[in-house]
Amino acid sequence: MPVVVLVMTGWLSRWSLAVLVPWRFSCSADRWFYMHGKLSLVLDFGPHAVCRSQAVSQAVAMNALAGTSRNFRLASRLLGLDSKLEKSLLIPFREIKVECTIPKDDGTLVSYVGFRIQHDNARGPMKGGIRYHPEVDPDEVNALAQLMTWKTAVADIPYGGAKGGIGCSPRELSKSELERLTRVFTQKIHDLIGIHTDVPAPDMGTNAQTMAWILDEYSKFHGHSPAVVTGKPIDLGGSLGREAATGRGVVYATEALLAEYWKAVKGLTFVIQGFGNVGSWVARLIHERGGKVIAVSDVTGAVKNPNGIDIPELLKYKEATGSLKGFSGGDSMDPNELLVHECDVLVPCALGGVINKENAADVKAKFIIEAANHPTDPEADEILSKKGVIMLPDIYANAGGVTVSYFEWVQNIQGFMWDEDKVNKELKRYMTQAFHNIKTMCQTHQCNLRMGAFTLGVNRVARATLLRGWEA
Ligand SMILES: NC(=O)c1ccc[n+]([C@@H]2O[C@H](COP(=O)([O-])OP(=O)(O)OC[C@H]3O[C@@H](n4cnc5c(N)ncnc54)[C@H](O)[C@@H]3O)[C@@H](O)[C@H]2O)c1
């Protein structure tokens, strides 16, 4: 049974709760705080909270929610944020939950739950993906919405953070069922999203077509509004360069980091996990710049070549066969060995949590570029830092996608389309500037790049919040 103790903290002029319980409950208490923070009782995770250190040290290993929360709190301590402001920054602006009932193709009625978590709008309209996945979990969506707030601030684009989704299996739905579901979801939330309010984008299980349906349905209520979503088809106002943007941003970020060490992509060896949208663009652009991609993997297998894989040939092969298996320009390898393969730069572009306490000590790369979200779990982070591996954090490294989404929104509002060269040049400018801003935070706070990025993002949101005046 949890023991609940009421304490009065000096720096918080209202009653707070400290919960003396095993860490498992503390974790859910942390979640509870996220979900219900607007209630007058506020859980106390400040310096005096009895269970904080135990909860934090164990919760970090658990999931994206815990990882994001931990990084936020560390950044907040480094910045010396007032505890009231810290709490306020964690509380989502709005949580939307709707039932989406549609007729299936066979005439039966089915209902799906849709969420939209709008985390923060201090710096501008909230921005984030909509995912269709059977395990859409409100806690995870909450963490991802929060992460978007810090990510858009790191990239210095005038947005806040949001995330949403529908708990469904998109592969089990026909195209017309998906369209009906998307339209019903849009009907339920159209008053709460908008060009200057909340701008959705594609995520897992959704794509440009999904955005086209949202745009069409939203426009029935509000008039033609291409800027209400990004990641649209080009024919409906999508941006040139958006498809490659995340991978291209990863490469610009890598170049900015390497330049700090008097290195360049050319001549270095790269290992890339994942050969989907992000991984294939990273591989292509590294290859174009004279970098040697010596191993690549995807869900079908892994291939290596110490002399460098011919990436254009591998792309053709994958296009033709749908697989990396059997590619004659290299030897097949154990995909589990890929992450610990000898190389200069390791670029995880697939799943979260792939670098963990089991394999971190064996990683041989000198640099890790986190193109995927959460590829390094916090225990691995610690092991790698001790080994002197330089890690470029996901919150910055994969921000190229949302940055070009911002350019898409700007073009829609301007009613003027940029050419691809302009999109790429602006992307490079934003990614390079963000790197230098992160570096300044690292110097100011004597911290690593992950904390440099978090302090940069959190500080910008905190400043905007204070300037607006947030105590109603
Ligand atoms: N696409 C974007 O704009 C974007 C933006 C920010 C972050 N990200 C993150 O980047 C990562 C990749 O996204 P994406 O859009 O390229 O997805 P994708 O679905 O296009 O590609 C994922 C790739 O990972 C591979 N993969 C899956 N399981 C694997 C395994 N066990 N071992 C090796 N490879 C495996 C798949 O085969 C595929 O090649 C994700 O973490 C995503 O959240 C993507």
Same domain, 176 and 227: yes
> Is residue 72, in this structure, part of any structural domain at all?
no
Per the CB < 8 A criterion, the answer to whether 115 and 96 are in contact is yes
Mutate to test the pocket of ligand 1, among 251, 273, 280, 298 (most ligand atoms within 8 A of CB): 298
Q: Of 87, 127, 151, 163, which one is the catalytic site residue?
A: 163
H or E stretch including 308? Answer: none
Length of the chain: 472
Same domain, 268 and 310: yes
Per the CB < 8 A criterion, the answer to whether 163 and 140 are in contact is no
Same domain, 113 and 7: no
Same domain, 12 and 121: no
Same domain, 286 and 384: yes
Same domain, 361 and 250: yes
- Radius of gyration over alpha carbons of the chain, in Å? 22
Number of folded domains that form the chain: 3
> Is residue 84, in this structure, part of any structural domain at all?
no
> Is residue 117, in this structure, part of any structural domain at all?
yes
Per the CB < 8 A criterion, the answer to whether 193 and 184 are in contact is no
> Is residue 251, in this structure, part of any structural domain at all?
yes
Pocket (CB within 6 angstroms of ligand 1): 246, 273-279, 297-299, 335, 349-351, 371-373, 398, 401
Per the CB < 8 A criterion, the answer to whether 325 and 332 are in contact is yes
> Is residue 178, in this structure, part of any structural domain at all?
yes
Amino acid present at 324: L
Same domain, 219 and 278: no
In whole angstroms, what is the distance from residue 329 CA to residue 6 CA?
A: 66
Q: What is the domain extent for residue 206? A: 89-236
Last residue of some domain: 236, 262, 293?
A: 236
Torsion angle in degrees (nearest 10) through CA of 375, 298, 139, 134: -170
In whole angstroms, what is the distance from residue 87 CA to residue 25 CA?
A: 19
Same domain, 279 and 369: yes
Mutate to test the pocket of ligand 1, among 271, 349, 377, 407 (most ligand atoms within 8 A of CB): 349
How many whole angstroms from 165 Cα to the centroid of ligand 1?
18
CATH number at residue 374: 3.40.50.720
Q: Which residue has the tokens 């969506």?
A: 141
pLDDT in tens, the chain (472 residues): 333 333 333 222 222 333 323 222 233 222 322 223 222 222 222 333 323 333 333 333 345 777 888 899 999 999 999 999 999 999 999 999 999 999 999 999 999 999 999 999 999 999 999 999 998 888 889 989 999 999 999 999 999 999 999 999 999 999 999 999 999 999 999 999 999 999 999 998 999 999 999 999 999 999 999 999 999 999 999 999 999 999 999 999 999 999 999 999 999 999 999 999 999 999 999 999 999 999 999 999 999 999 999 999 999 999 999 999 999 999 999 999 999 999 999 999 998 889 999 999 999 999 999 999 989 988 899 999 999 999 999 999 999 999 999 999 999 999 999 999 999 999 999 999 999 999 999 999 999 999 999 999 999 999 999 999 977 6
The verdict on whether 163 is a catalytic residue reads yes
How many whole angstroms from 204 Cα to the centroid of ligand 1?
9
Neighbours of 174 (CB within 10 A): 11
How many whole angstroms from 47 Cα to the centroid of ligand 1?
38
> Is residue 261, in this structure, part of any structural domain at all?
yes
